[in-house]
Amino acid sequence: MGGGKKKGKGTRPGGTGETLQEKSGDAASGYPSLCLRHVRQGYGVEELSEGQRSEFLVKWAKRSRFTWAELQLHQKHGLGFEYLPAHQIKKVAPDALAQNKYMVVRHEGNLPAVGYKVGDTFYVLWIEACYGDVYNHG
């Protein structure tokens, strides 16, 4: 027993033997994914208008076609992003999710979604439905 084929736990389907983690490599070379698990109450998709929800989804569908490195070359008010220091954010994240700086992407016009990035995943904390609710746009 046990002399058979080695199990490929964590390997890509198709038998390349390369793990998914190895395939994604450097976080900037990977494609973005979105997580809404940590969205703070009062700042989720439910608070957005139908048009804002639609634009949020359309923009993420477009972003998903680019790597993070490619998105970095886009304008911050387009498909790109920027980072803001935590002291510029009006809202307070729970200690476990607190960051020194937050990533900001735009959904409808200049309205931001604010969160943090780990690996290829952008974790949304706040989605702004009304201009200026999450941070001062100065």
For the chain, the domain total comes to: 1
**Domain-embedded: residue 41:** yes
Question: ∠ CA 129-131-76 to the nearest 5 degrees?
Answer: 95
Closest-CA residue to 62 (of 43, 42, 39, 34)? 34
**Domain-embedded: residue 112:** yes
pLDDT of residue 23: 41
**Domain-embedded: residue 8:** no
Domain extent, residue 97, equals 24-127
**Domain-embedded: residue 54:** yes
**Domain-embedded: residue 43:** yes
pLDDT means per 10 residues in the chain (138 residues)? 49 41 57 97 97 97 96 94 96 95 95 96 97 89
**Domain-embedded: residue 70:** yes
